[in-house]
Structure 1
Amino acid sequence: MDKPRILADSALDSARFGIKVVRGCVPAGTAEQEVIDEVEASDAELIILRTAAGDSGAIVQLQRGGWPVIHADTLVYYGIDLTTLARRPLPPGVRLATTVDRDAIREIAERSFTGYRSHYAANPLLPADKVVAGYVEWANSRLAPENSGGCTWVVTAEDRVAGFATCDLRPDRGAIEIVLNAVHPRFSRRGLYGRLLEAILQHYAAHSYLELGVSTQLWNYTVQRQWARAGLSLKRAFATYHLDRRLRLP
């Protein structure tokens, strides 16, 4: 039986940036040569590869072999066991989003992620406006009625949507992951993000979900402090690399 591939086509990234993009996360225990062979066999202009933080052997070998490598970010994952969560009433001003909220979520994403130092921002060949457009698309992606495996929550202030959290749900209720979240800069430092997170934790604990996970870039200390105050703890970390053929010297 063939081994599962590490890299897969990233259709959304390819369409957005007008190049062929593949991406993947190296499973624990994968031999360095397997990673190298798959990268070498790819015809993509851009390969986005994640490895466990500190596991850089294959990346070093690829760099020695002439590949231009950008260490684009370090992603940290936090989580919490919802079965141990102390139950409290849901805080006010938080609700599930609907398609009516699409424009408000778009504005929050545009304001919050313009200039944000994600792994995309580390690559000088990826246009900044297209990176932001990707975040807007991502922010609204779980509003589609056909996306039964996801949802979006919003927190309100001054009679408007002030922040959002886009989530993926496992069908067996094993876990929920917050995949993207932000509060409009105008409403920062008002406790709205903490209220939004608390509502999500309480709602899914009450609906028998087992755990919640969320991730961010290592440098984003502010949100990590909020997660720690809410009872989440650091679970794992991944390094993100961009291997971009277009950066190769002629």
Structure 2
Amino acid sequence: MAWHDVSDGGPLLIRESPLESARFGCAVQRLTVPTGSGSGYSISAVREAVAGSPGDVIVLRYPAEHVGWFAELTTLGRTAVLADCLVYWRLRVGEGRTPEPSRDLRTTTSVAPTAVRELVSDIFASYGNHYMANPLFEAAKALAGYREWALRSATEGRCLALRSRSEREGEGEPRLLALATLEDTVDGSPTEILLAGVVSGAQGRGLYAHLLKAVEDRTRARGGKEVVISTQGHNTRVQRAWARYGFEPVQALLTVHLIRSRLLRGPER
């Protein structure tokens, strides 16, 4: 979901999530309450949408300012699991506090599928994402989903990586040090960083700022005006890096998994 979504106040619609359903072996649906001054949704609209859902798990996201909604969600006949608080940050292109250029780094948009999978597996192996709150979802399958997500971005040309000119790996190839996958359009919407990180063996060397600069440069070249990025609220380390670079916090969304309670019961004796 893009952070800047707005709505005309029509009915909330639950979307099927076939990839997640296949991955986790249960019927997963998504329900996102749009944000913005024009949305005007209440908990009653959520209640109505949930009541008609046949899904096993509904991944619900809504603006965090609705602090009273979670108590209401516990009365909908499902088990409500508070999964995360997703925080969004924004950078106005041209305002980034860019690092000094490095002769050892090169930005590339061509990353082999095998390399994408390896990078994501390394960078996000221990990332505390919202799937981890749900006992029905296995951590290994969630990580596989991140790999698939990144691979789709790479095959569509929406991927940036940093290579080292001096460090080499298998068969003399320059070593890949960092990866960012993106979502952007040509209609003036912000470029959204979907996944971004530095490989574990290269962290602490200031490379993340170079990765953000590569995204900002790409956005500028495409005529974009803003870059947005999000993470779970607990991930304060990366949020400090965003603040140092020039990003500012703009929005928070709560994620709640609404689970059919019978799925959480142990086998009957």
TM-score, normalisation: structure 2: 0.83
Give the aligned partner of residue 39 of structure 1. Answer: 50
Q: Does 1:8 align with 2:15?
A: yes
8 Å CA contact 1:74–1:237 kept in 2: the answer is yes
Deviates more, 1:109-118 or 1:41-50: 109-118
Instruction: Work out which of the residue numbers 206, 230, 237 in structure 2 matches 1:215.
Output: 230
Alpha-carbon distance in structure 2 between the residues aligned to 1:237 and 1:48: 16
Instruction: Work out which of the residue numbers 165, 172, 183 in structure 1 matches 2:180.
Output: 165
Q: 1:176 to 1:89 in 2, by over 3 A?
A: farther
Amino acid at match of 1:208: G
Matched residues, number? 245
Deviation at 1:29, TM superposition (A): 2.0
Give the aligned partner of residue 31 of structure 2. Answer: 24
Alpha-carbon distance in structure 1 between the residues aligned to 2:149 and 2:221: 27
Deviates more, 1:235-244 or 1:154-163: 154-163
8 Å CA contact 2:16–2:28 kept in 1: the answer is yes
Give the aligned partner of residue 147 of structure 2. Answer: 136
Q: Residues 120-156 of structure 1, C-alpha deviation per residue, up to 9 Å, x if partnerless? A: 0111110111111001111211122xx3xx5100012
Q: 1:169 to 1:89 in 2, by over 3 A?
A: farther
8 Å CA contact 1:89–1:202 kept in 2: the answer is no
8 Å CA contact 1:90–1:203 kept in 2: the answer is no
Give SS of 2:197's match.
strand
8 Å CA contact 1:33–1:58 kept in 2: the answer is no
Gaps of 5+ in 2: 1-7, 168-173
Q: Does 1:247 align with 2:259?
A: no
Give SS of 1:5's match.
coil
Gaps of 5+ in 1: none
| 4+ residue segments displaced more than 4 Å | 83-92
8 Å CA contact 1:165–1:182 kept in 2: the answer is yes
Q: Does 1:62 align with 2:56?
A: no
Deviation at 1:206, TM superposition (A): 3.9
Alpha-carbon distance in structure 1 between the residues aligned to 2:154 and 2:182: 10
Give SS of 2:253's match.
strand
8 Å CA contact 2:159–2:180 kept in 1: the answer is yes
Deviation at 1:101, TM superposition (A): 2.6
The CA RMSD over aligned residues, in Å, is 2.4
Instruction: Work out which of the residue numbers 228, 236, 243 in structure 2 matches 1:228.
Output: 243
Alpha-carbon distance in structure 1 between the residues aligned to 2:101 and 2:61: 36
Alpha-carbon distance in structure 2 between the residues aligned to 1:87 and 1:225: 15
Give the aligned partner of residue 83 of structure 2. Answer: 72
